[in-house]
Copies of this chain bind each other. A is one copy, B any other.
Amino acid sequence: MSMDFAPPKYAQVMTAIQQRIRDGEYAPGDMLPSETQLVREFGVGRTTVVRALQTLAMQGWIEREHGRGSFVKGRPESPAERVRPGLSTVEHAESAENIVSVARVPAPRHVATLMGVDERTPVIARHRVMRQGDRVSAAETLWFPLEIALGTDLDKPDPLRHGVRQHLQAVKHLRVDHVTERLTARKPTKEEADLLGSSSAVLGVMATVHDPAGTVLLVLSVALPGDLHELEDVYQVS
């Protein structure tokens, strides 16, 4: 008995209609069959049809007008995928070659500001590099407040096999909720230049990583050599 699960009926109705829109059977501007007709065609209750149509409307596939009908809008609306340097930094699994150093240091001014603590408060600084073949393709520093790092392996120079985010989740049940990222172009610092080799312009990313309550879990800084990295973004214009 394989017991495969059929998706719920309202979802079946949704995907059927989406398919017809994609196929052009229902073209943009067309009126969809009325709820009553769809009830007959799919053999389900009106509750089910209405739920499917209202969900499609919320997702932007169709528009519903009281008293007139439902109309194809035809723009499924792509949610604008984008590369997230801050996110991939906390997702990436570590290996021994990644770790440059891990130390307890006084917080630099900009890090302290982002954490909302006093300058020179002790924090854990975790320096890492990413490699592409022979070249170092990124120099990263992650700063953790002491109370976050407490009880974790974040202050130890051993590689985290499943990435920082997983580690925080598994060890202290801390959930990463959102990331604030600021990006600029600058020259590499002396330390970064030593690691990166090339001394041209770098993309500088500063990010703060928050839990659902807004608490700062960590602050991170990434230097991406400009000759190796392009960040691509596609977006709809209103």
Asked whether, in the complex, the Cβ of A178 is within 8 Å of the Cβ of B212, the reply is no
Contact, CB under 8 Å: A77 / B180: no
Pairwise interchain contact B212-A75, C-beta atoms closer than 8 A: yes
Q: Is the CB of B84 within 8 A of A213?
A: no
CB < 8 Å neighbour of A186 from B28, B176, B200: B200
87-139 of chain A: CB within 8 A of chain B: 87
Contacts of A29 in B (CB 8 A): 212
Asked if B178 and A233 sit within 8 Å, CB to CB, the answer is no
A234 at the interface (CB under 8 A from B): yes
Contact between B201 and A236, CB atoms less than 8 A apart: no
Residues of A at the B interface (CB closer than 8 Å) are: 28-29, 58, 73-75, 77, 82, 84, 87, 165, 176-187, 200-204, 212-213, 224-227, 229-237
- Beyond A178-B235, A182-B233, A185-B224: 14 further Cβ-contacts under 8 Å? A74-B212, A75-B178, A77-B178, A87-B235, A178-B236, A179-B235, A179-B237, A182-B231, A183-B203, A184-B229, A184-B231, A185-B203, A186-B200, A187-B200
